[in-house]
Amino acid sequence: MTPLLRDPLDYYGGPASDVYFQRAAQTLAAVGLDPEVTMEFFVDRPGVLCGIKEALALLEEALAEADQIWALDDGDEITEQEVVLRIRAPYSHFGRYETALLGMMASGSGWATAAREVVRAAAGTRVISFGARHVHPRVGPVMEYSAVVGGCAGCATPLGAELAGLRAPSGTMPHAMILIFGDTVEAALAFDQHMPEDVLRIVLVDTFKDEAEESLRVARALGERLRGVRLDTPRERGGVTVALVKEVRARLDQAGHSRVGIFVSGGLTAERVREFVAGGAPVDSFGVGMAISSAPPLGFTADIKEVAGEQRTKRGRIPGPTQTARLRRVR
């Protein structure tokens, strides 16, 4: 089973499915009605498509060899009412999975669209997804995959990184570890001693002391091994500001630590990222969480457009396959 599809088909077509699809399947089977149908999936507003890879993985397991699929790709920019997926197969082969297929694309596209907005706001500065803590753990890694599809350079969970094809997840140490050590430098030295060489030495510097002072202490202790400092100042103390980033940068440079990068996190939104960029804050990377993970889903709808070769659909829609040059045949 593909890494993007970690639950059995029975789950997607049973307890995780709208019950009326199961009742429809039972009714149609009872009367022996199972025509080949053409169904199209389309979106209600513009955004970044994501979830199609997972949807195709489900369909690859569910459909027969002769069944046909056309689709766009994860990462494609999509427009209002655009068809992103077309299936031609006997209805019994995939009808029960409509809830899952729609949900995969709705959530994934919402996250990817929000990530794209933040990434564009960052104007070339790297953005890392830190949002897994804001969603259920069953979906956190898929959210992080979607964030990478939307343009994030990294994500925090190992499974999210695996799904996105990244070499490794991003992240170093939490405040909890520093609090347990009781001193930032002591924690940083222990981390440096015990972590593999391929783990970046990036140290939180807002736990105990002034951020600039703590940055200098850590830089002196780790020397050339320090890759960067992370500013995550809580809103109770005013949060991270443009002025704070500039001060930390200046003090590090004056002390000869110009190679040490500055990483900013903590309640960042696209608007706040734009403020850092507009203010000329020398940020090397942004860590963004809820602005991506809490993004509203894009609304996807599925309609049958043909039944047994006859063009047929509900009122308000146009019967027959939609004319589009963007869909590509995938099977």
Q: What CATH number is associated with residue 282?
A: 3.20.20.70
> In terms of domains, do 148 and 230 share one?
yes
Residues 118 and 214 in one domain: yes
What's the CATH number where 98 sits?
A: 3.20.140.10
Task: Let me know if residue 142 belongs to a domain.
Answer: yes
pLDDT band at 9 (very low <50, low <70, confident <90, very high): confident
d(CA 82, CA 300): 10
Domain-located, residue 2: no
CA distance 7 to 5: 6
208 contacts 186 by C-beta, under 8 angstroms: no
pLDDT at 147: 98
8 Å CB contact between 184 and 217: yes
Predicted confidence (pLDDT) at residue 311 exceeds the cutoff of 50: yes
Question: Residue 62: inside a domain, yes or no?
Answer: yes
In this structure, is residue 236 part of a structural domain?
yes
pLDDT at 49 over 70: yes
Q: How far apart are CA 108 and CA 303, in angstroms?
A: 20
Query: How wide is the angle at C-alpha 47 spanned by C-alphas 70 and 317, nearest 5°?
Result: 55
Q: Is the pLDDT of residue 140 over 70?
A: yes
Q: Does one domain contain both 136 and 232? A: yes
Are residue 41 and residue 97 in the same domain, yes or no?
yes
pLDDT for 186 equals: 98
Q: Are residues 213 and 125 in the same domain?
A: yes
Range(s) of the domain holding residue 137: 112-293
Residues 16 and 55 in one domain: yes
Q: How confident is the model at residue 3 (pLDDT cuts 50, 70, 90)?
A: low
Q: What is the pLDDT of residues 260-308, one digit of tens each?
A: 999 999 999 999 999 999 999 999 999 999 999 999 999 999 999 999 9
**pLDDT tier at 10, thresholds 50, 70, 90:** confident
Same domain, 155 and 17: no
Whether residues 265 and 310 share a domain: the answer is: no
**What pLDDT score was predicted for residue 5?**
62
In a domain, 250, yes or no: yes
Asked if residue 1 has pLDDT above 60, the reply is: no
| pTM across the whole model | 0.94
Q: Residue 145: pLDDT above 70?
A: yes
Q: What is the mean pLDDT of residues 171-175?
A: 94
Instruction: Classify residue 243: in a domain, yes or no.
Output: yes
Mean pLDDT over each residue of the chain, to the nearest integer = 96
Q: Does 287 share its domain with 300?
A: no
What is the arithmetic mean of pLDDT over 7-29?
92
Residue 7, pLDDT above cutoff 80: no
pLDDT value at position 271?
98
Judgement on whether residues 157 and 238 belong to the same structural domain of the protein: yes
- Mark whether 85 and 129 lie in a shared domain: no
**320 found inside a domain:** yes
In a domain, 1, yes or no: no
Count of the separate structural domains present in the chain: 2
Percent of the chain with pLDDT over 70: 98
Q: What's the whole-number mean pLDDT along residues 86-102?
A: 97
* pLDDT in the model for residue 8: 80
- Among 74-78, 124-128, 162-166, 233-237, which is the least confidently predicted range? 233-237
Pair 221, 305 in one domain: no
Per-residue confidence (pLDDT) for residue 195, from 0 to 100: 96
Q: How far is CA 122 from the centre of its chain?
A: 17
